[in-house]
Amino acid sequence: MSMNPTCPFPISDYPTVTLAHGGGGALMHQLIDRMFLTAFRNPLLDAGHDGAVFGMNGANVALTTDSYVVQPLFFPGGDIGTLAVNGTVNDLAMCGARPLYLTLGMILEEGLPMETLWRIVQSIREAADRAGVAIVTGDTKVVDRGKGDGIYINTAGVGALTQGRDINPGRIQSGDVILLSGDVGRHGIAIMAVREGLEFESAIESDCAPLAQPVLALSQAGVEVHSLRDLTRGGLASALVEHARTAGVTLRIEEKDVPVREDVQGACELLGLDPFYVANEGRFIAIIPERQGDAALEILRGFPVSEGAVRIGTVQERGRALVRLQSRINAPRIMDLLSGEQLPRIC
């Protein structure tokens, strides 16, 4: 075979897989870029998107996948089933596609209570109904007791693009504005609160929700959407840094304009977390031409899931790939990917 036997990933530096290799930060990106993308190189994979977009007999199709290993399985605002539907549906939406079909692969651990499985199956169905997708094929595996963690779920999603296939970080222009669909940090904090046994006056619920409706409404209204990204592992900050790098641009973000709920901010301080890096499951950024910014915000605010949409920054010069955060006290700070692991198994 034509396989190069030397691995471009520095195996001697990282001889074993660590939790950080799945955390959405720098180590995960290194593993993906230098091992997976190098081995599987092809134009669709290289697009650096949340999913692949290709033509089939004249139809423009989006395809995406995610595995879900969240712990605990149930948390305020959702469970692993809700997540497995919305996470994948949202990746399709971020390609500008209308989500249509999901596959469902379940890896069950011997000893999982059937009642737990049934609760999760019901959540999957309810979330699929809400997102307007059908579960059309699936697979079930069982692993020995102690070789799993109750249940892991993989979903792959297929969506249809009606507006062409040109939503991707490569289209970002200097002068574009960056919109954020609502407050950040809730999903990660909802999970961490359960894990750490934190009590708040009222529970912080995950923001887990399907996002295709507001996204499709933008395109339908004629907004020239350059790029979209949902803010999952690694949070708002990582999504911005990935965008800056893929597009080769500087993004300027106003910290004061990024909404963080007071209870989420408090929990972050208690836990030593930066809310900009905390995972969300119902938030996205949209990068669009400045002239359409106000119209786009108005459209987004018409949907409950994005009623808190705001403008948080702008795309500045080409050529320097970085994210510049203008802080509340007006001190600039460069945002980067976290090198380690902030929140393991958040999705």
Contacts (CB under 8 A) with a copy of itself, residues 131-170? 134-144, 146-149, 152, 154, 156, 158, 160
> Binding residues for a copy of itself, how many (CB under 8 A)?
90
CB of 347 to a copy of itself, least distance (A): 8
| 61 is an interface residue for a copy of itself by CB under 8 A | yes
CA dihedral 156, 162, 164, 166 (to 10 degrees): -60
Residue 216: which of 133, 102, 127, 97 has the closest Cα?
Answer: 97
| Residue 98 · residue 64 · CB < 8 Å | no
9 binds a copy of itself per the rule CB under 8 A: yes
To a copy of itself, the closest distance from the beta carbon of 20 in angstroms equals 8
Residue placing its CB nearer to a copy of itself in the complex, 238 or 250: 238
Least distance CB 43 / a copy of itself (angstroms): 9
Residue at 69: amino acid letter: V
Sole binder of a copy of itself in the list 259, 266, 308, 344 (CB under 8 A): 344
Among 42, 262, 272, 328, binds a copy of itself (CB under 8 A): 42
Q: Which one, 115 or 199, has the nearer CB to a copy of itself?
A: 115
Q: Is residue 18 near a copy of itself by the rule CB under 8 A?
A: yes
Of 37, 30, 39, give the one whose Cα is nearest residue 11.
30
Q: Which residues pair with 86 in a beta bridge?
A: none
As a whole number of angstroms, the distance between CA 228 and CA 243 comes to 9
Listed in sequence order, the residues at least 6 apart from 63 whose beta carbon sits closer than 8 Å to its beta carbon are: 51, 52, 53, 54, 156, 157, 158
Q: Does 36 bind a copy of itself (CB under 8 A)?
A: yes
Query: Measured between alpha carbons, how far is 271 from 276 in angstroms, rounded to an integer?
Result: 14
Among positions 33, 125, 196, 340, the unique one binding a copy of itself when judged by CB under 8 A: 125
Residues 182-211 that bind a copy of itself (CB under 8 A): none
Closer Cβ to a copy of itself, 234 or 313, answer by number: 234
Nearer CB in complex with a copy of itself: 157/182:
157
Q: Would you say 309 and 300 are in contact if contact means Cβ atoms under 8 Å apart?
A: yes
Beta strands at 78-79 and 310-318: parallel, antiparallel or unpaired: unpaired
Among positions 59, 222, 262, 332, the unique one binding a copy of itself when judged by CB under 8 A: 59
Least gap, CB of 10 to a copy of itself (angstroms): 9
3-class secondary-structure state, position 248: coil
Shortest CA distance to 323 belongs to which of 216, 188, 217, 229?
229
- The only residue of 1, 201, 222, 262 in contact with a copy of itself, by rule CB under 8 A: 1
Which positions from 260 through 299 interact with a copy of itself, judged by CB under 8 A?
none
Per CB under 8 A, the list member of 67, 173, 213, 316 interacting with a copy of itself is 67
- Asked if 16 is part of the footprint of a copy of itself (rule: CB under 8 A), the reply reads yes
| Residue 69 makes contact with a copy of itself by CB under 8 A | yes
Element (H, E) at 61: strand 59-68
Task: Determine the angle formed by the axes of helices 212-220 and 80-94, rounding to 10 degrees.
Answer: 20
β-sheet bridge partners, residue 68: 153
Q: How far is the CB of 57 from a copy of itself (least distance, A)?
A: 3
Report in angstroms how near the CB of residue 236 gets to a copy of itself at its nearest. Answer: 20
Among residues 26, 76, 117, 295, the one that binds a copy of itself under rule CB under 8 A = 117
Cβ neighbors of 311 (< 8 A, separation 6 or more) are 177, 178, 179, 180, 257, 293, 297
Q: Report 77-116 residues binding a copy of itself (CB under 8 A).
A: 100-101, 103-115
Task: By CB under 8 A, tell whether 44 contacts a copy of itself.
Answer: yes
